[in-house]
Structure 1
Amino acid sequence: MSTRTDLRALTEQRSGLVVPGSFNALSAKVIADLGFQATYVTGAGVTNMSLGLPDQGFMGLAEIAEHTGRIRDAVDLPLLVDADTGFGNALNVRHAVKVLERAGADCIQLEDQVNPKRCGHFDGKAVVSSEEAVSKVKAAVEARTDQDLMIMARTDAAAVDGFDAAVERARAFGEAGADILFVEAIKDREQLLALPGLLDKPLIANLVIGGKTPIVSAAELGEAGYAIVLYANAALQGAVHGMQGALTALRDNGQITEDDNLVIPFAERQRLVDKDAWDALDQRYSS
């Protein structure tokens, strides 16, 4: 199967598939190496790690398309790609979908925030009208060339208009053709677990470590009917934590070695970037 048909099959199981977010090609390779079955190209992660900025609409289509292409070249996993608001109106959404489809996305996520957006777990969000949001979903669905490319529609309306309004928006997105539905930043555990029973399309649960949504196990979310359990920035938070630990030791001690167990060994780093395979190719081409 292609990565797109593979993702559709995984999604239809509705078994709480855990999907970590990747912010660059190496993080995606680590995710693949550890046996995860898909990865999410995170807009927040790209913004934080590549621009050093908060997730407040600073990332553009060019940045996310470039990162998607690099990650597509690095791993064979299905890629769910964060396209924020589609970077404008319905016409911009059409363009974004075509660009990201060419870059290698298997699923493209769009949201209904006012542009420029902000992280779904920040305060002060605003959403566009339901009519405008639905029109952008329709534009995305019509823009794809490959019908196996999935469209994920996210609503942030729970923080603005309440849970019931968010459910109604998500239902409208499904009727407009969205393949996966995403109700962001649900604060109540019971509402989180009840949501799959209120909507008939596959759902994603976004668990932000330290965010507004309560952390619930993937097993329990799968039993509730969620298709995907997203940890969009677990790799990012872990990477920053690791960097802080290693660099604090270097600052304080003036040296750092593999024996300190604060960094991966040199050989492990080369394994992750396939150095042996590249050496073999170099030798074959040289001979």
Structure 2
Amino acid sequence: MTDLDGTGQREDAVGDLLGSGPPPRKRLRELLAAPGPLVAPGAYDALSARLIEQAGFDVVYLTGFGATASLIGRPDVGLLTGTEMVDQARRLAAAVDVPVIADADTGYGNALNVVRTVRAYEQAGVAGVHLEDQVSPKKCGHLSGKAVIPREEMAGKVRAAVAARRDPDFVIIARTDAAAVHGLADAVDRARAYADAGADLLFVEAPTSEEDLATVARELSGVAPLVFNWAEGGRTPPLSLERIGELGFSLVLYPIGALLAATAAVRALLETVRADGTPAAALPRLPSFGEFTDLIGLPEVHDLERRFAAESG
């Protein structure tokens, strides 16, 4: 994580309108190559992405579960289209300077669709995507009732994704959901095949025990860097970050913690309004209006207004 100042926040706060940060894709490659697991909290919209960046994290993860919940108020069962997810990814990438890794679901079709999907996400400004081998329409990886496509078909989709990217620093993550369908051994074999097809990172979804996680790490050691999905309340055991690092995982996703926290906070506020008739009792627990407008970049807007007014005068 980036060094923090005395307030517990990054000195450069959040992404600016002129995008002064380092190239996000190159930066993501550097972060993944550094020792220890890279932590990527999940964002469901541009505001939550800015909060993650302000908190000092170096990467933002766009969660498909959270995007589905925030955009249409429904569960993650393949209801969002690729266009909707790419639009959401574009908003997040424009709102922050740190790299954004985006959920690209199944690629929204066959290998030809994957080509278009990767091009669209790349144009949206994200630093990388993960693609999964579920049958479409997919489901959240920690729900029951999943099905997967043949290994060879997914390997072809990974090859298509690699061929489609214009920027070689754009990261392709291959995810397999086969552990819940055909068992862990098949998931590991699929991950190897996806690495052979050119995936930069491997993501074995929803192992259900620490022993299974250790098996994944051991069997895929040296094949490609590994992703650990620390799904809050999901099927994978909630290991400590230290243990995750010991096992050898390179990227850790915390996909829905921010979404769950926001839900709890909104509920609490609404309960206060319902009980009291006004939100007055809840205000001491909330950011002030000024604090919030600072967070979303009002001081920068004022600076740019002064700067460009002076230059045109």
TM over 0.5: yes
In 2, are the aligned partners of 1:242 and 1:262 still within 8 Å (CA)?
A: no
* Identity among equivalent pairs (%): 43
Show the counterpart of 2:10.
none
The Cα shift of 1:90 comes to 0.3
Alignment of 1:88-237 (within 5 A): 88-199=109-220, 200-237=223-260
Output the amino acid matched with 1:130: R
**Contact preservation (8 Å) 1:193, 1:221:** no
Listed as ranges, the matches of 1:3-18 within 5 Å are 3-13=24-34, 15-18=36-39
- Unaligned runs of 5+ residues in structure 1 are none
Q: Secondary structure in 2 aligned to 1:115? A: coil
Structure 2 unmatched ranges of 5 or more:
1-21
1:274 aligns with 2:297: yes
More off after superposition, 89-98 vs 38-47: 38-47
Q: Does 1:251 align with 2:274?
A: yes
The alignment status of 1:60 with 2:98, answered yes or no, reads: no
Tell me the distance in 1 between the aligned counterparts of 2:30 and 2:302: 36
TM-score normalised over the length of structure 2: 0.88
User: Alpha-carbon deviation of 1:259?
Assistant: 6.3
How many residues get paired?
A: 287
Cα distance change, pair 237–61 in 1 and its aligned pair in 2 (3 A)? same
CA contact (8 A) 2:64 2:76 kept: yes
Match of 2:286 among 256, 263, 282: 263
- Structure 1: how far apart are the matches of 2:58 and 2:296? 19
1:68, 1:127 → 2: CA distance? 25
Matching residue's letter, 1:181: L
Per-residue CA distance 1:59-86 (angstroms, 9 max, x = gap): 1111111111111111111111100000
> Quick one: distance in 2 between partners of 1:14 and 1:127?
33
Pairwise CA distance, 1:284: 4.0
* 1: CA distance, partners of 2:125 / 2:281: 36
Higher alpha-carbon deviation: 59-68 or 255-264: 255-264
